[in-house]
Copies of this chain bind each other. A is one copy, B any other.
Amino acid sequence: MAETLMIRNARPYGGASADILIRDGRIAAVAPPGLAAEGQEIDAGGALALPGFVEAHTHLDKTLWGMGWHPHSAGPGIADKIDNERRVRREIGIEPDRQATRLAAQMLAMGTTHIRSHVDIDTEVGLAGIEGVMAMRERLKPVVDVEIVAFPQSGLMIRPGTLELVDRALALGAEVVGGLDPCAIDRDPKGHLDAVFGLAEKHGRPIDIHLHERGEMGAFSLDMIIERTRALGMQGRVTVSHAFCLGMPDIDHVRRLIADLARERIALATTAPASAPAPAVRTCLEAGVVVCGGSDGVRDSWNPYGIGDMLERAMLVGLRNDFRRDEDIALAVDVCTHGGAKVMGLADYGLEAGCAADLVLVAGESLAEAVAVRPRERTVIKRGRLVVRDGRLAVPIA
């Protein structure tokens, strides 16, 4: 497993050409060209070197990747999608381990080395999703790091029995307490959030809550999340995913909420949706809020789009936020790399000596060009091991 690799002629973040020496799964040196030969040589051919992408919000357990094309059949609302998904799951059979493996392999091929996946828990599927993704996580440990959010997709309080299942999932090994739409779906914001924060306290785990609620309703739920984070000393341990309400027109209210998020060190996960209000990424970053990015569902009953490419996500973040300057496009890439690493609490993430050797090589004259073109022939190193060469898996993934 522990190999020594010498990557020649790579350009960290699109800067000057460098040699990157990797030993025992870590970056041993990043230096101007000319390091003494050691280990297996890889000629990057002037490609950019970036730390492995961090897919900080996805749903590995329910993708249809590799199952043939299934036309989207859900109605437009969130509740429509939840109901439709339960129906689709019954009809076509989505084996979580197999499906999570397929999508994780695709993400890896696109340069992602770390994944936070929400995994459905409800009274119908029980813990099958959690167990499947845990099995996949164990098997794929050498090539990708996966963090599991115990996610009550069909509601927590509104479906009796779900809370106990989430509790068991956390005991089993899911690392993060999930939640969603305390008002709009669960119809009981106090009950929902007390339960979510209660589980976090009981298990000593962080929280990641889906918040699709828009406008003042979403702001109300967000405010209740902020209150609990402060009261329970959960600063730096809470992420809010989507947070569409931060795209509402009342910018004074939005600015107050963003200041509160920064103060309580609550992070945001965004897909940068083009058809929904969304947090303004630059405004959030400037206020000191950590922002990470994610594909959300990839080819599942929620969303037909996506190839699990975080460089494409960086483009979508850029387009959504009108990022045109190179330094702004670099912010979009930062969301899809370091932002996710902060949310996942990766201590040794980056391209400096001493960091874990998780990196991706992709052609491009500049970081911005790599985002604009998104070449798919990437080379990926995971913990010092060459796992993807020119877009193709170089290791077996069962």
**A interface residues, Cβ below 8 angstroms from B:** 68-69, 71-74, 76, 272-276, 299, 303-307, 315-316, 318-322, 324-326, 329, 365-366, 368-369, 371-373, 376
Contact = CB atoms under 8 A, between A and B. Distances in A.
Contact of A325 (B68, B72, B319, B324): B72
Contact of A307 (B324, B329, B372): B372
Nearest to A367: B69
A144 B73 CA distance: 38
Nearest to A376: B376
Given A305-B318, A305-B372, A372-B307, A69 B325 contact: no
B376 A319 contact: no
Contacts of A304: 324, 326, 329, 368, 372
24 contacts: A68-B365, A69-B365, A69-B368, A71-B325, A71-B366, A72-B324, A72-B368, A74-B324, A272-B274, A274-B319, A275-B320, A275-B321, A276-B322, A304-B329, A304-B368, A304-B372, A305-B318, A305-B319, A305-B371, A305-B372, A306-B372, A307-B372, A316-B319, A376-B376
A315 B307 CA distance: 12
The residue among A72, A76, A299, A371 with the most chain B CB atoms within 10 A of its own CB is A72
A25 B276 CA distance: 45
Contact of A274 (B307, B316, B324, B373): B316
Contacts of A320: 274-275
Contacts of A303: 324
Contacts of A318: 305
A337 to B, nearest CB: 19
A215 to B, nearest CB: 13
Contacts of A305: 315, 318-319, 371-372
A73 B368 contact: no
Given A305-B318, A376-B376, A72 B275 contact: no
Contacts of A272: 274
Nearest to A368: B304
Nearest 5 interchain pairs by C-beta = A274-B274, A275-B322, A69-B365, A71-B326, A274-B319
Contacts of A365: 68-69
B307 A369 contact: no
Nearest to A370: B69
A306 B365 CA distance: 15
A328 to B, nearest CB: 8
A90 B262 CA distance: 44
The residue among A73, A305, A322 with the most chain B CB atoms within 10 A of its own CB is A305
Contacts of A73: 325
Contacts of A325: 71-73
Contacts of A274: 272, 274, 316, 319-320
Contacts of A324: 72, 74, 303-304
A295 to B, nearest CB: 12
A352 to B, nearest CB: 25
A58 to B, nearest CB: 15
A366 B299 CA distance: 13
Given A304-B329, A316-B274, A329-B304, A69 B369 contact: yes
A276 B274 CA distance: 9
A76 B275 contact: no
A82 to B, nearest CB: 15
A274 to B, nearest CB: 4
A371 to B, nearest CB: 8
B275 A307 contact: no
